[in-house]
Each structure stands twice: as C-alpha cells, then as structure tokens.
Structure 1
Amino acid sequence: MKKKNLLIAAAGIAAIYCGGIFFFHNHFLPNTYIAGTNIGLSSSASAEKTLGIQSSASELEIDGDKTTDVLYGTDIDLRYDDNGLLGSILAEQKTYTWPLSFVQKQMYEASVTYNEEKLNENMSQMDCLTSKELTPSEDARIEYTGGTYSVVEEKYGDVPDKDKLKAEIIEAIKSGSKQMTIDCYIKPSITSSSPEITEAMAKINSILNETITLTSPYTSYTLTKDDITSCIKYEDGTVEIDEDGVYLLASSIADTFNTVGKEKEVTTVGCGTFTISGGIYGYEVDIDKEAEQLAADILAGKDTERNPVYSQEETYDFNGGLGNTYIDVSIDEQKVWLVYAGEEILETDCVTGLPTEGRHTPTGIYWIEWKTTDYQMTTFNAYVNFWMPIDSTTGVGLHDASWRSRFGGSIYQSDGSHGCINLPYSAAQTIYNYAFGTMPVVVH
C-alpha cells in the first residue's frame, strides 16, 4: 500500500512538472520582471497589456540633497514598446527549470518610448535644477589676502549635471524604478591638490622667497616681498607678470638709481671739492628694459644681484662720476682745466656765455658727445677748427674762437658767447686731442 502511494505521488509530481513545461511554453516563468513589473505566469498578450498600463501610469521620485521631484509617465507620454522583447524572453526561457524560477528572479529592462521635448520641458521646471537653494560647486583658487598668497579650498555643491541627470532618469524609467537619488552633481574641476594649484603655489613661494638686489656705485636696493608681490598675478592657473605693477616698480627703481642732474660732490684739480647738480651726464635707467629684466628675474625664482638696466651710464664710478679724467670749466674764474689720469694736462682761459636768459652757459655735469674738426656752426654762421659738443639739445660745446683776441677775465659779462665755451686755438687743439666720447665735463 505504501509503495502504491509513493507511485501515485510520483506520478502526480511528474504530471505537474510536465504540465508546467507545457504551460510555460506560452507563459512567462514565475518571477520574471520587466521594468520592475512582475509578468510571471502571464501570457505574452496579458504581459504586454500589463506593461502598457504600468508604463503610462508610472511615476518616478527624484531625490536630491535639498529637493524632491516627481516625474509622471503621462507627463512625457511614456509608452511600453515591446520591440520583440516578450517573444524573445519566451523563446529563450528554459521551461524545464520552471520550478527553480519560484526562488530565482529574472530581471529585464523595458524598451520604452517617450516624448523628448516633454521630458526636457519637465526637467527645466524641476526643483533639483532650478531651486534657489542650490549651491554651485566652486573650484579651488589662489588668493592674495593679508599680504600673502593662500589656497582657498574647493567647495562641492548640489547642482546636477543636466545631461547626466537626464541619462539617470531614462535609466531609472527603463529599469522600472519608483525612486532614484541624484548622483551626478557637478564637481569642482580644480581642487586644492590639482597640479594647477600645487604647481602655482610652489612657483609663487619660490618667487616670494627669492632675493633680487640692484646695485650701483652710489646705492643698492633689495626688492621687498611687497615689491615682488605687486609684480605678479595668478590667472587661469598660471603665475604671470602684472605688467602695470612691474612698470611701476621699474619707475621707482629709476628714481632711486638715476643720477642725471642730481647733486653730487666732486673734486677737481683746479677748484677743489664742491657740490654740483644739473647737466645730462650720469646714470639713467631704461624703464622699459628694466621692467623686462625685472619680469624675467622675478619669474626665474632665484637669487639675483645685478646693476639696473641703463640707457646711459657714467664713465667712471668714483669722484661723482668724473673719475680722474675730465674737463673742468669754471664760469666764475673763466678757466678750463684738462685732467687726464689724474694729471693736469692744461689750464687755459676761456669765454663762456653771456650771463643773460638764452645765452648763459648751463651748469652741471656733461660729457663729450662726439668731436670733429673743420666744423661750420650754421646757427651763428661761424667756422671752428675743433668742435666738441657737450649738450646737443642746447647746442653747447667747446671750440676754438679765432674771432677773439682775448680770453678770460670778465669778458663774458659783456661779450660772452651764446652758451659755448670759447677757447684759444692751441688750447682747443690740445683738449681735442685728449677728448673722447663720454669724457666728463663739469661746468660750474
């Protein structure tokens, strides 16, 4: 009897199993899901109807950090599009394993259609993209505050990337999700550890820690950190020269190192020690070229000691620039001394300019600009044998004056020149022979 019962039970189980195989030839296995909808045990037609109803009536909750939006299937004309999926699942499902499907899920994404324009329109009104409470991400940056450069850390915001959000929404719809959490916030493109920041800060620190010293025979100046800071700027991830700042610094350096026209103490063989100002002789900084050199020195980030970039320099770096080779012109004494390598070569009488406006001989330190013989002074229709200009802007120079028979004394007060230093022929010849371009000439 017991054996008979076992046979009956086995036959029943076999019948059920075989019936299941037959049934699942045109019905979906249990736990078959499309887009989150269970179509198990349904026929193809029934499943298609169910999916159509579910898709049109679906809703998706979209959760952000500060916002919650709901997208309804009807808002975007969401429709299930079989596209052969149901038939493919039926054809491929293993009917002989149907008992296992009660404990195993088969998940499929749905093929759906939707109105792209309506989806875009709905997204444009979502709080997760439009709320005033949203905070954009901020890149890390370098700022100059309180006399120093420092890194301002990046900030992570809660504004989604619209294109990525759209892709996430479409994926959620296809998978049949009822809820999704936004995971596509726009991140800072530059962080405090980005090369743009770390390399720039390393460059800035290198620049600010360098020592740049300018020297001349009269003074020296070491750039301060404030000087250097005023010459640099950080833009678009790079350390650059602030052209306005470096030009202002070069101008300040020129004020410090220029000696043209400034008061100097000199000592001459003929007149001893005295102070003198004026003239065109001396150091003069070329501001444009000095600015270029400063920019290069600063960006180099290393210690530098050099002279300023001059447009003109003094011939000698001692005795106020006169050195020990010069021409000394005394207006009061109406004398000229020629000194070469510390030795007095010549002392001679002269006639300087008439002491009136427009004809007086200007005082200061000048230099022989050039020299020539047999020169026609067109302004005064006068011919000279030896011409040595000391200031082309005023036309003043040293020359012989064959039209004069006497020199020195007080002649200049009533019959002075138009500003030039008139010399006897032999004296002019001697001075001419010793004179060279940039030879200092002090007039006092």
Structure 2
Amino acid sequence: MENEETVSRSEKNTRASQSNNHSNKKKNRWLVPVVGLLICLSLVFTVGLFYFQSHFFVTAKANGVDIGFLSVKDAKKKLEDLNKSEPVIIKSNGKEETIELPEKYEITEEYLKQSIGNHSIKLPINEDYKTELQNKLGALAFEEGTPSQDAKIEKVDGVYQIVPEQIGTTVDKEALINQVLKDVDDNKGTYVYDVKDFYQKPGVTKDDKGLQDKLAILSKKENKSITLDINGEKLTLTKEELQSFMNESGDVDQNKVYAWVEQTNQKYGSIFKPIVFTNVHGVTTKYKNNGSYGWDINMPQTRDLIVQAINSDKETEAITVPIDGDVTQSTTVNKDYVEIDLNDQKMYFFKDGVKVVETDVITGRYNKGTATVPGFHTILYKDTDTKLEGEMLDGSEYSVPVKYWMPLKSYGGVVTQIGIHDADYKAEYFGNKEAYKTNFGSNGCINTPGEAVAQIFNGAYAGMPVIIYGHIYDDAPGEFDKPVDYGEPA
C-alpha cells in the first residue's frame, strides 16, 4: 500500500512539472513581441519628438489653412497665398476702378517658429494694410448724383398724403468702404462692387410708423369742428384754415395761428371800424377810428385757446373769444362825446345824447405845425393842477399852469400832446373867431373858459370821443405834423 501511494505522488509531481514548463514557454512567446512593440513605439516617439521640433503637428492650422507636417519654411510658403494680391473692382456707370489689396498678414519664419507647437495659429495683421486700403478707397471719385428724398407728408388736392421716398444716385462712400473692409477681413475672396448697391438710402420711407402716426394726427386735427364766439358772432374754422395752422409733423404752428387771429381781429374788432358821427349842423361823417375806441380780440389768449382746441382729444370745441375794450361802445357816436367846430371856434359837450355845454374856444395858431387837427380822437386821461410846457415854432418856450387838462389820443394811437384845458387869461378873446390867427392861438390845444372846461372835466372820462372838424387850416403855411382826418360823407 505504501509503495502504491509513493508511486502515485511521484507521477503527480512529474505532471505538475511538465505543466509549469509548458506555461513558461507560452509566456515567453508573448513577451518578445510586446517588448519589441514597446521598443518601436519608443523609437517612433523619439523620432516624432525630434521631428515635430521643426515641423507642425498633424492638426495644426494657421488662419484656417492646414499646415500639419510642414516645416516652418514650407508652411510660410503655403501661407503666403493668404497675401496673394486680390483686386477690388468698383463698378460705376459702366466704368471699373481696380484697387490691388495690400498684404494683409505679416508672415515671418520667426513668428512661425515661435508658434510651432500650437494647433491653431492666428497670423498677425499687417498694421498698415487697413489704413492703406482705406486711403485707396477714399481716393475714389464718384459723380455727384442726386440726393435721395425722404418720404414726407404733403397736402395734395386739399388732402394730406404720404409722398413716397425717392432713391437718388448719390454714392454712400462710407458704406462702400466699410463693406469692402468687412469682406477683406472675412477673406471673402471676391471683391466686386457696383456703386448702385451703395446709393444713399432715404432716412424715412413711406412705411415709417412715425410718418403714419403723423398722418393720422393731421387727419384728426384737420377734421375738427372748432367754433369761435366773437362778441356774439359765430365763426367756424374751416378745414383749410386748420390745415394752414399745422406743419408736416402734425404740430400746430403758433405763429400761423396768431397771424390768422390778427387778420380776424381786423375784420371783427370794432376799433378797426370807422366811426359814424352826426354833428350839431346835421352833417353825418365817417371818421377813421383812432384804435382805442370800442373793442378788439385779445390775440395772445385767443391764439392759445385755438392751439389747445386743435391739440385736444375732443372732435368738437367751442371757444368764447376773450375781448379787450368796451363792447358797449358803438361805432355810431351819439351819446357821450365832445364836439369841436374849428370853423366856428365852438365846442360842445354831450352826455347821454343831451348837450350839456356849448362854449367858445381858441384853437391852434394859424400854421399847420400848430394846428388843432381834425379827426376822431379820444380823451387819453384827466389831470388837474398841472403845468404845460413846450416850445413854439419860433423857438420860444412856454410854461402854462392849468387847472384842468385832458390830452387827446389821435388816429393810429398817436399821443399828439394836443388837449383840452382852461385858459382864462385869454378870456377877452373868446368869441373872436379870428383869435387863432393871432399870437393868442395855441400850440394845438383847445383853449377853453375855465367854467366851461370844469363842467366838461367833471362829466368826461378816459376814452370819451372827441370829434374835431373844419377846414380853417387848409391854406395855413407849414406842414401837418400830426394825423389829420377830415372824414368822408357817411
């Protein structure tokens, strides 16, 4: 039994030894190729490391150009195609202008050597190329052409409309230069341009929303119903008048509105209408208004009201026009007034249509320069215990104290320094119709007995009419230096 067990162990050891030998042989067979491969890879790496010290990597690109495996010298040669001269062709009216592109990039072996380990290389730009190109393009000359016209709003056949834009033939040189520079920067490769594509474009087209909005505003404003009440008279603004107030932007021009109000004032205001007067002799005459009797439109306030009405959101507006002056003063003078008859050297004072005073007077000395001038006047103001001073035509000066003084305002709003005042120191000459031809004639004032002028002074007021008529100065020497109105038959 022991021998059998010993034999069995021996056989097992023998088999195990044979198996180990077989395994070792297998390992040796794989080891040799692996070692060889590693040696080869090491050689390749070493060679590659040395190679790519002077050549670019496989995936290397410069400005998008493949330069993998190339040496610095070969890469420079290939990249020089980027600086290949390309013509820029500008077409204008059948003619062509050609500009050669300057070199865009600075391509040097030194720069490439510094970048040899990079996969993506950006070449440095030639700093002068863009300036040089701009200068060449800027030197181009084009025909002047016609400028483009913006779309605008105009009144056509009484209606506001948008007039479309007009394309001109003026070249937008800046836009052309910018486009060329952009294309060159992007390496477009083809640089052909027709100036027709660069005509200056209108700033505003017919589809512009702002223009459309303005047209809508104009349409709304011109179709408004605006009625004015001018001292009881109704006046409705017409569409044409509303249009005349506005500019193309739909804004109201205040100056145009004021001009219209001014014209309307001339038509409606009573201060611009003639005065009708019947004197004590029954003669009816029409005189020019001196501009202060009656009423007129307050023009600044009326202008502002009209502007506000046009700009409001309401479709209908009613305006009560503000009035300056006395609306009760009629253009027919027959109630309160002073009447002076130069021919008879008489003065009359009427209150509420009733004659209160009739008195002799002495008027201006017989010379047109010192005449008491005919026409329609009003009392400017009243004053008492004052002194009248001035100079006569002969150069002599006068200084006259008076108790009652009522200066007159004449045609055109002229303050003539002529007025009504007391002159009792001439008492003995009142009633002498020729006294005005002597040195007792005044410097234009109406000299009056104190008692009579006191009555007039007490009943008169600023703005009261004073009508002067007569022809005694027609043949007098000199020239009238104040407004004269003889009136005309009414």
> Is the contact between residue 139 and residue 190 of structure 1 (CA under 8 Å) also seen in structure 2?
yes
- The residue aligned with 1:404 is 427
Q: 1:280 to 1:352 in 2, by over 3 A?
A: farther
C-alpha distance in 2 between matches for 1:386 and 1:318: 25
**1:196 Cα deviation from its structure 2 partner:** 6.0
Say whether 1:435 aligns with 2:463: no
**1:385 Cα deviation from its structure 2 partner:** 2.8
Q: 1:335 to 1:284 in 2, by over 3 A?
A: closer
Say whether 1:337 aligns with 2:349: yes
- The residue aligned with 2:286 is 276
> Is the contact between residue 62 and residue 71 of structure 1 (CA under 8 Å) also seen in structure 2?
yes
- The residue aligned with 1:48 is 76
Structure 1 stretches lacking a partner, 5+ long: 1-17, 94-107
Correspondences of 1:38-437 after superposition (within 5 Å): 39=67, 42-43=70-71, 45-52=73-80, 54-59=81-86, 71-73=99-101, 75-76=102-103, 79-80=106-107, 91-92=118-119, 111-113=124-126, 115-125=129-139, 130-132=141-143, 137-142=148-153, 150-155=161-166, 159=172, 161-162=175-176, 164-173=178-187, 177-180=188-191, 187-194=201-208, 197-198=211-212, 201=215, 208=222, 241=253, 252=263, 256=267, 263-266=274-277, 274-278=284-288, 280-282=290-292, 290=299, 294=303, 297-298=306-307, 301-302=310-311, 305=319, 313=325, 315-320=326-331, 322=333, 324-331=335-342, 334-339=346-351, 342=352, 344=354, 346-351=356-361, 353=363, 356-358=366-368, 360-379=371-390, 382-391=400-409, 393-402=415-424, 403-404=426-427, 411-413=432-434, 417-418=441-442, 419-437=444-462
C-alpha distance in 1 between matches for 2:434 and 2:232: 37
Identity %: 22
> Is the contact between residue 365 and residue 442 of structure 1 (CA under 8 Å) also seen in structure 2?
yes
Which amino acid in structure 2 is aligned with residue 438 of structure 1? G
**1:431 Cα deviation from its structure 2 partner:** 1.9
**1:55 Cα deviation from its structure 2 partner:** 2.5
Query: What secondary structure sits across from 2:274 in the alignment?
Result: strand
Post-superposition Cα deviations, 1:335-364, rounded to whole Å, max 9, x if no partner, equal 51331xx36371323325379543554333
C-alpha distance in 2 between matches for 1:211 and 1:352: 59
RMSD: 5.4
Aligned residues: 393
**1:395 Cα deviation from its structure 2 partner:** 3.3
Structure 2 stretches lacking a partner, 5+ long: 1-40, 312-316, 391-397, 470-490
> Is the contact between residue 380 and residue 408 of structure 2 (CA under 8 Å) also seen in structure 1?
yes
C-alpha distance in 2 between matches for 1:299 and 1:247: 13
> Is the contact between residue 207 and residue 300 of structure 1 (CA under 8 Å) also seen in structure 2?
no
Q: 1:226 to 1:191 in 2, by over 3 A?
A: same
Q: 1:426 to 1:61 in 2, by over 3 A?
A: closer
C-alpha distance in 2 between matches for 1:285 and 1:193: 50
> Is the contact between residue 361 and residue 446 of structure 2 (CA under 8 Å) also seen in structure 1?
yes
Q: TM-score, normalised by structure 2?
A: 0.58
Point out the more displaced range, 363-372 or 203-212.
203-212
Query: What secondary structure sits across from 1:120 in the alignment?
Result: helix
Query: What secondary structure sits across from 2:427 in the alignment?
Result: coil
Which amino acid in structure 2 is aligned with residue 326 of structure 1? Y
Max Rg structure: 2
> Is the contact between residue 366 and residue 441 of structure 1 (CA under 8 Å) also seen in structure 2?
yes
Query: What secondary structure sits across from 1:319 in the alignment?
Result: coil
> Is the contact between residue 141 and residue 151 of structure 1 (CA under 8 Å) also seen in structure 2?
yes
**1:407 Cα deviation from its structure 2 partner:** 5.8
